[in-house]
Amino acid sequence: MFGSLRQRFASRLRERGRRRARLVSKDGRCNIEFGNVEQSRFVFLIDIWTTILDLRWRYKMTIFISAFLGSWFLFGLLWYVVAYIHKDLPEFNPSINHTPCVENINGLTSAFLFSLETQVTIGYGFRCVTEQCATAIFLLIFQSILGVIINSFMCGAILAKISRSKNRAKTITFSKNAVISKRGGKLCLLIRVANLRKSLLIGSHIYGKLLRTTITPEGETIILDQVNIDFVVDAGNENLFFISPLTIYHIIDKNSPFFHTAAETLLQQDFELVVFLDGTVEATSATCQVRTSYIPEEVLWGYRFAPIVSKTKEGKYRVDFQNFSKTVAVETPHCAFCLHNEKEAKAKETKCYDNPGFVLSEVCETSDTKM
Which segments of 133-229 does DSSP mark as H helices, in order? 134-162, 165-168
Sign of CA dihedral 252, 256, 262, 267: negative
| Separation of alpha carbons 121 and 80, rounded Å | 19
CA angle at 24 for the pair 259 and 175, rounded to the nearest 5°: 65
Asked if 309 and 244 count as a contact pair (C-beta separation under 8 A), the reply is yes
Give the burial string for 338-355 (b: 16+ CB within 10 Å, else e).
ebbeeeeeeeeeeeeeee
Helix (H, G, I), strand (E, B) or coil at 193: strand
Fill in the amino acid letter for 225: D
- As annotated, the residues of the chain forming the CATH 1.10.287.70 domain(s) are 43-163
CA angle at 55 for the pair 54 and 56, rounded to the nearest 5°: 120
Distance between terminal CA atoms of the chain? 100
> C-alpha distances in angstroms, 229 versus 8, 57, 191, 205, 273?
39, 35, 13, 13, 9
> C-alpha distances in angstroms, 255 versus 227, 251, 260?
11, 9, 10
Enter the CATH code of domain 43-163. 1.10.287.70
By C-alpha distance, which of 150, 161, 181, 129 is closest to 55?
161
Asked if 94 and 101 count as a contact pair (C-beta separation under 8 A), the reply is no
How much is the pLDDT for 343?
58
How much is the pLDDT for 296?
92
Asked if 254 and 339 count as a contact pair (C-beta separation under 8 A), the reply is no
Give the burial string for 97-110 (b: 16+ CB within 10 Å, else e).
eeebbbeebeebeb
What are the percentages of helix, strand and coil residues in the chain, rounded to 5? 35, 25, 40
How much is the pLDDT for 19?
55
Longest dimension (CA), the chain: 161
Question: CB-based burial of residue 231 (10 Å sphere; 0-12 exposed, 13-18 middle, 19+ buried)?
Answer: buried
Asked if 359 and 338 count as a contact pair (C-beta separation under 8 A), the reply is no
Tally of CB atoms within 10 A around 188: 24
Helix (H, G, I), strand (E, B) or coil at 24: strand
Mean pLDDT in consecutive groups of 10 residues from the start of the chain, 371 residues: 52 49 82 71 76 87 93 95 91 86 90 92 84 90 93 89 74 91 89 85 86 85 87 68 84 89 88 90 81 92 90 83 89 79 55 52 51 42
| Separation of alpha carbons 193 and 242, rounded Å | 9
Q: What architecture (CATH level 2) is domain 168-348?
A: Sandwich (2.60)
How much is the pLDDT for 340?
63
| Separation of alpha carbons 261 and 226, rounded Å | 18
- As annotated, the residues of the chain forming the CATH 2.60.40.1400 domain(s) are 168-348
By C-alpha distance, which of 287, 296, 305, 292 is closest to 264?
296
Tally of CB atoms within 10 A around 203: 12
| Separation of alpha carbons 272 and 32, rounded Å | 14
